[in-house]
Each structure stands twice: as structure tokens, then as C-alpha cells.
């Protein structure tokens, strides 16, 4: 089995039973849990906010992998850090320019939290090159952010080797959107070492088998 970090996205979990769902994916072998934060501006959907992250922190010791799909991410870094996020990933497209992104990375690290940057399908991989040596994680979206259950965009996966070639060895290369037992293999063979999966895991009854099938 290749060393791939699976991060189940709770966007597709039962929101009335989040702690139970998170414990179930932990028992199924997950070490991370992916939390999709959406503000209704950066993306056309509204999901989870700071109080939920705070409650989840009390409910689990899994790595809280928080994906901020929000405008003005710098305004909320402190709150999401203090709520207990272990990783904070924001979108390059939410930044004015590269120095805004660099400042946001520095801010995240000042709270002792790991920093990630995500790119939407239309953003070129070259745009993140100046940030790669400052980051812990790069998140390549293989769907338009906003909703679970969309179809994997194969073109976007071709960004993985381009970024990998320019990345330090320890950078986590994560892919999010449309991951299933087939697309997971495409991504890992191209060099991804972390996969986010929402509907593929939570729409099955056997989470353990679902997670194993992603390796
Ligand atoms: C989409 C989110 C994803 C989403 C993935 O904007 O960032 O994390 O939950 O869902 P699936 O795995 O169903 O494509
Ligand atoms: Zn996500």
C-alpha cells in the first residue's frame, strides 16, 4: 500500500451526527478529516464555520484539515486556528496578489498551524510556484469548489506532475473533487500523496472498505 493520506470530507456526512461520523471514519482508518468552509461569496454555497470546528476539535484527535473557500481568508485565520484546525488551506484566487498569499501563509504559521494553498480548475499550476517552498500543502481542485458529488475533471489532474516537479520533497500534494476508487489511482500515479473524498466514502455503508479502495 502506497503512503497516501486519505482525508474524508464531512461535507457528505450526516450533519446531525458529525461526531459519530468522524469517529466512524477514524475507526475505518482515516487519520485526517477534511472540513469544507464556504461563505456564499467565494463559492455559491454556505456550509461550516468556526463554532463547528471548535466542537469537532473536542470530539476528535484526528487532524482537522480545514479547506477555506472564503473571501478575505486572512480575517478568519486566527479564529480557525484557535478553534483547533491543524491545517488551514485557503484559495489563491481569494488573494489580491502573490504577496497577499505570502502574508496569509505567514499568518497561518504564526499560530503554529500548517499552511496550504488551493487552486481552482482554471488556475494555472505555475501561479503557485513562488509559494511552494513556504507551504506545507498544495490542494489541487479537480472540480469547481462549492459542492460535493461532482465529476472529476481529468485535465486538472495534469497539474499534479507540473507542481510536483517544482515542489520540495516534503510538500503534501492533495487533490479534492470527484475522487473515487478509479480517479484516486490516476492522482496517486501522477504524484499526489493526499486525497480528499466526500461522497465516495460517505455514500457507502462500509467506510473501511471505501477508504481501503482509495489506496
Ligand atoms: C468541494 C469540496 C470538496 C467536496 C468533495 O468544493 O472542496 O471537499 O466535499 O466532494 P466529493 O468527494 O464528493 O467530490
Ligand atoms: Zn474541500
Cell of 109: 504559521
Q: How far apart are CA 105 and CA 90, in angstroms?
A: 9
Among 198, 210, 211, the mutation site with the greatest number of ligand 1 atoms within 8 A of its Cβ is: 198
The environment of the single-atom ion ligand 2, i.e. residues with CB closer than 5 A, is 36, 67, 176
N-to-C CA span, the chain: 6
CB of 150 closer than 6 A to ligand 1?
yes
Only one residue has cell 487532524, namely: 63
CB 210, CB 201: distance < 8 Å: yes
Mention every residue, 6+ apart, whose C-beta is less than 8 A from residue 75: none
CB 113, CB 88: distance < 8 Å: yes
Task: Categorise residue 151: left if φ over 0, alpha if ψ from -120 to 50, beta otherwise.
Answer: beta
Atom of ligand 1 nearest to the CA of 180: 12
CB 202, CB 12: distance < 8 Å: yes
Give residue limits of the domains in the chain. Answer: 5-212
Q: Three-state DSSP class for 186?
A: helix
5-212: CATH number: 3.20.20.70
Closest of 75, 60, 63, 145 to residue 107, by C-alpha: 75
Atom of ligand 1 nearest to the CA of 145: 6
Reported pTM: 0.98
In angstroms, what is the span from residue 179 Cα to ligand 2's centroid?
11
pLDDT in tens, the chain (215 residues): 458 999 999 999 999 999 999 999 999 999 999 999 999 999 999 999 999 999 999 999 999 999 999 999 999 999 999 999 999 999 999 999 999 999 999 999 999 999 999 999 999 999 999 999 999 999 999 999 999 999 999 999 999 999 999 999 999 999 999 999 999 999 999 999 999 999 999 999 999 999 999 99
Burial category of 74 from C-beta neighbours within 10 Å (exposed 0-12, middle 13-18, buried 19 and up):
middle
CB 92, CB 123: distance < 8 Å: yes
Amino acid at each position: 500500500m502506497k503512503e497516501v493520506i486519505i482525508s474524508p470530507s464531512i461535507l457528505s456526512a450526516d450533519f446531525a451526527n458529525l461526531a459519530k461520523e468522524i469517529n466512524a471514519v477514524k475507526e475505518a482508518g482515516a487519520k485526517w478529516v477534511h472540513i469544507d468552509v464556504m461563505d456564499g461569496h467565494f463559492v455559491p454555497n454556505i456550509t461550516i464555520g468556526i463554532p463547528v470546528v471548535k466542537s469537532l476539535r473536542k470530539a476528535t484527535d484526528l487532524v482537522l484539515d480545514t479547506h477555506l473557500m472564503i473571501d478575505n481568508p486572512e480575517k478568519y485565520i486566527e479564529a480557525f486556528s484557535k478553534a483547533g484546525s491543524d491545517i488551514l488551506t485557503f484559495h489563491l484566487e481569494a488573494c489580491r496578489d502573490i504577496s497577499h498569499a505570502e502574508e496569509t501563509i505567514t499568518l497561518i504559521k504564526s499560530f503554529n498551524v500548517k499552511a496550504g494553498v488551493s487552486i481552482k480548475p482554471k488556475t494555472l499550476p505555475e501561479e503557485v510556484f513562488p509559494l511552494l517552498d513556504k507551504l506545507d500543502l498544495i490542494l489541487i481542485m479537480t472540480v469547481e469548489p462549492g459542492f460535493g458529488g461532482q465529476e472529476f475533471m481529468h485535465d486538472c489532474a495534469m497539474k499534479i506532475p507540473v507542481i510536483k516537479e517544482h515542489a520540495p520533497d516534503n510538500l503534501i500534494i492533495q487533490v479534492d473533487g470527484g475522487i473515487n476508487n478509479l480517479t484516486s489511482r490516476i492522482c496517486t500515479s501522477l504524484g499526489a500523496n493526499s486525497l480528499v473524498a466526500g461522497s465516495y466514502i460517505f455514500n457507502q455503508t462500509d467506510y473501511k472498505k471505501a477508504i481501503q479502495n482509495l489506496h
